[in-house]
Copies of this chain bind each other. A is one copy, B any other.
Amino acid sequence: MSEQAPENEAAAGPDGTPETEEVFGLSDDLVGAVEEALEAGWPAEVGKLVTDLHAADKADLVESLGADERLRLIDILGAGFDPEVLPHLDAAVREEVIDRLGPERLARLLSKLESDDAVDVFEDLDEAFQHRILTALPLAYRHVLQESLTFPEDSAGRLMQREMVVIPSAWTLGETIDYMRAAEDLPDDFYDLYIVNPKHHPIGKIPLSRVLRTRRPVRLTEIMETDLKKIPLATDQEEVAHMFRQYGLVSAPVVDEGGRLLGVITVDDVVHIIEEEAEEDALKLAGITEIDLYSATLDTTRARFPWLVVNLATAILASAVIGLFEATIEQIVALAVLMPIVASMGGNAGTQTVTVAVRAIAMKDLTDSTTRRFIGKETLVGAANGVLFAALVAGVAWLWFGSPMIALVLAAAMVVNMIVAGLCGTLIPLALERAGIDPAIASSVFLTTITDVVGFFAFLGLAALFLI
């Protein structure tokens, strides 16, 4: 790190107590200094500020610059552009950067990356651009990229790196160490040795820490772990991430249909997947497909539009239910005042349940027996909170409008809607999952539609029956 990066700057919280110190990362000061140097047109100064940053911090810097400054930075860095920055960039920003770099420079940069990172950048390009890159690449590298595109998106095949350390099963530890000391083409970092049989099937792995504790004459097959979690090429990355998390893996072998070892997936790639998958659920529940911080306004507007259309349709449906009771509302306007409370409480209680259900499904926490218990429990929780809140709102309504009958009707509708919220909050995500639809993306629309419709219908319907 350059001395400009104040990596040990201590921050004080708003109440004056010292907060956790920022031990790393890009500071606003550094971003400001780079912006200044770019505007002043001091390429040497820019270079000095940027060179020693970690690639991930450089990517953050590129993202936080304005569009013009970003292009100027790329031009200034020229041949010194760090290829490792590319996989760290947000998709929208990466597109801009790649456009500026052009296919020939991009091809040169890609060939310096490990294969999984190169694929990560390459797969997002449009076809014409991919073609121009391929022709500019060395043959062996071209083959790897082309083959990777034949694997399904978000699969283990796309995630794996081809660089790995593979050892024949007949070797001793001493032979292995001698080979590694002499070999030129080992990956930069690796954590396990993979042992293969003559058919190139992985039959075991040895963590490097075990290699280091073993004496030279020992055969690899004597010390290898044979309980390998082999990942088929087509496995979804979510499944891969779950496996790494569940078993605390640092690397795992990827095999083709014939069981041959094709590559390895390492934990640093999986960390991003784990984060993305957990984050995706949060986003999908709100009807967003990605953190679109760097997308253009028009793209963001367009991306959010469909979800809002769906919500508009459900809002109109709820309004239609209210429309059925126009005559009732005309007689007792208090109903119009109170009715959103029932719908809103049902929606909120149901959303709590849906959120738990969606995460539990994603984490594969729901077996047959836990599912049954979960549905029962959530319905009971809905009923219990329903009774509590029925008492609360009935009191408020009675005080407000002085009518015990309105209060009673409100209370009854509240209990009904909260039970429905608990029941549907579990059943909807489970049903969607069974139907092969992602529960994170569709559950909350279905749920709030139901709690709105049931809420308005129960409240206004009971009012029409008992108050008129």
Contact = CB atoms under 8 A, between A and B. Distances in A.
B213 A180 contact: yes
B341 A319 contact: yes
A186 B209 contact: yes
Contacts of A14: 434-436
Interface in A3-47: 13-15, 20-26, 28, 31-32, 35
A396 interface: yes
Nearest to A370: B64
B355 A341 contact: no
A32 B368 CA distance: 9
Contact of A208 (B13, B208, B326): B208
29 contacts: A20-B232, A20-B235, A24-B229, A24-B243, A64-B369, A181-B212, A183-B213, A186-B213, A189-B250, A212-B212, A245-B271, A245-B272, A248-B271, A249-B268, A250-B267, A278-B279, A279-B282, A285-B285, A287-B352, A288-B356, A291-B365, A292-B356, A293-B365, A307-B352, A312-B393, A316-B396, A326-B336, A326-B337, A344-B452
A244 B268 CA distance: 9
Contacts of A436: 13-15
Contact of A235 (B21, B345, B374): B21
Nearest to A165: B209
Given A14-B436, A244-B271, A301-B385, 9 more contacts: A24-B247, A60-B365, A63-B370, A191-B209, A278-B278, A286-B354, A293-B356, A311-B344, A319-B337
A286 B275 CA distance: 19
A392 to B, nearest CB: 7
A218 to B, nearest CB: 10
Given A181-B214, A282-B281, A381-B300, A312 B268 contact: no
Which of A22, A209, A392 has the most chain B CB atoms closer than 10 A to its own CB?
A209
Interface string A421-456: 000000000000011100000000000000010000
Interface string A326-363: 10011001101111110111001101101110011001
Nearest to A300: B381
Nearest to A240: B23
A204 to B, nearest CB: 15
- Top-8 shortest CB links A-B: A282-B282, A278-B278, A336-B336, A208-B208, A248-B268, A286-B355, A64-B367, A315-B344
A355 B268 contact: no
Given A288-B352, A337-B323, A381-B301, A232 B274 contact: no
A340 B318 contact: yes
Assembly of this chain: how many copies? 2
Contact of A330 (B54, B330, B343): B330
A467 interface: no
Given A338-B319, A345-B315, A369-B64, A215 B181 contact: yes
Interface in A383-407: 384-385, 388-389, 392-393, 396, 400
Given A340-B315, A359-B282, A31 B275 contact: no
A149 interface: no
Contacts of A212: 177, 180-181, 208, 211-212
A407 to B, nearest CB: 14
Contacts of A305: 385, 388
A307 B348 contact: yes
A393 B316 CA distance: 9
Interface string A42-77: 000000000000101100100111100000000000
Interface string A61-100: 0011110000000000000000000000000000000000
A243 B24 CA distance: 7
Nearest to A15: B436
B56 A247 contact: yes
A20 B239 contact: yes
Nearest to A152: B20
Contacts of A234: 20
B341 A340 contact: no
Contact of A319 (B56, B281, B309, B340): B340
A230 interface: yes
A145 interface: no
